[in-house]
């Protein structure tokens, strides 16, 4: 079996990352379909809307936090080091050997903090969509009734 001399770790990483991104994209389509009934054609637009809603919520939360907290850079750095050491202490000695473990834990914590806000935003969007669909149904039924009554009046009074 012959192997390519140019295929190294960097190309393997790129190949694996493309596969992971493809799987994540497929999972995004499935999640949007289950949560909102969006087709593949609507998924990208819905993703942008959800991201804008989440960004707005994150911006509002950051403004509330930054307005109420007065933390110096030194204190923030000490707090970050303390959090990192606490996370590595909980994970045990093997956690220090894993490269990027601190980043992984930080992303997990941020994801856990963002999840309730994202759930509220998704619920609010579903509620708004249901209200719009109900209003659209009422308008459609009213229009059909008007057309039917106009048709009936036209048949009752032949010219």
pLDDT tens for each residue of 12-32: 777 777 888 888 889 988 988
> Are 60 and 77 in a shared domain?
no
Tell me how far apart the alpha carbons of residues 92 and 73 are, in angstroms, rounded to a whole number: 29
> Are 45 and 114 in a shared domain?
no
Tell me the range of 4-13, 81-90, 114-123 where mean pLDDT is highest: 114-123
Tell me how far apart the alpha carbons of residues 113 and 151 are, in angstroms, rounded to a whole number: 58
Residue 142 has pLDDT above 70, yes or no: yes
Total structural domains within the chain: 2
> Are 80 and 130 in a shared domain?
yes
pLDDT tens, 98-131? 777 777 777 777 888 888 888 888 898 889 989 9
Query: Does 43 reside within a domain?
Result: yes
Residue 49 has pLDDT above 80, yes or no: yes
Tell me how far apart the alpha carbons of residues 122 and 46 are, in angstroms, rounded to a whole number: 11
What does the pLDDT read at residue 103?
A: 75
Of the pLDDT bands very low, low, confident and very high (cuts 50, 70, 90), residue 5 is low
Task: Report the predicted TM-score, pTM, of the whole model to 2 decimal places.
Answer: 0.37
Tell me how far apart the alpha carbons of residues 44 and 50 are, in angstroms, rounded to a whole number: 10
Residue 57 is part of which domain span?
14-69
> Are 124 and 149 in a shared domain?
yes
Handedness of CA 38, 51, 101, 84 (dihedral sign): negative
What does the pLDDT read at residue 1?
A: 47
> Are 78 and 145 in a shared domain?
yes
> Which residues, 6+ apart, have CB-to-CB distance to 36 below 8 Å?
46, 125, 126, 129
How many Å separate Cα 104 from the centre of its chain? 18
> Are 46 and 97 in a shared domain?
no
> Are 79 and 134 in a shared domain?
yes
Tokens 């694996």 found at: 16
Residue 48 has pLDDT above 80, yes or no: yes
Query: Does 4 reside within a domain?
Result: no
What does the pLDDT read at residue 141?
A: 92
């Amino acid at each position: 079996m012959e192997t390519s001399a140019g295929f190294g770790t960097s190309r393997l990483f790129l190949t694996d990352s493309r596969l992971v991104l493809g799987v994540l994209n497929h999972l995004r389509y499935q999640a949007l379909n289950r949560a909102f009934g969006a087709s593949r054609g609507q998924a990208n637009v819905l993703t942008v809307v959800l991201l804008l809603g989440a960004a707005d919520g994150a911006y509002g939360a950051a403004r509330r936090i930054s307005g109420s907290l007065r933390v110096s850079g030194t204190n923030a750095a000490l707090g970050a080091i303390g959090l990192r050491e606490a996370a590595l202490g909980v994970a045990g000695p093997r956690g220090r050997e894993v490269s990027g473990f601190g980043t992984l834990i930080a992303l997990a914590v941020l994801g856990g903090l963002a999840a309730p806000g994202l759930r509220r935003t998704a619920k609010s969007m579903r509620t708004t969509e249901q209200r719009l669909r109900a209003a659209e149904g009422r308008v459609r039924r009213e229009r059909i009734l008007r057309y039917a009554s106009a048709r009936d009046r036209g048949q009752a009074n032949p010219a």
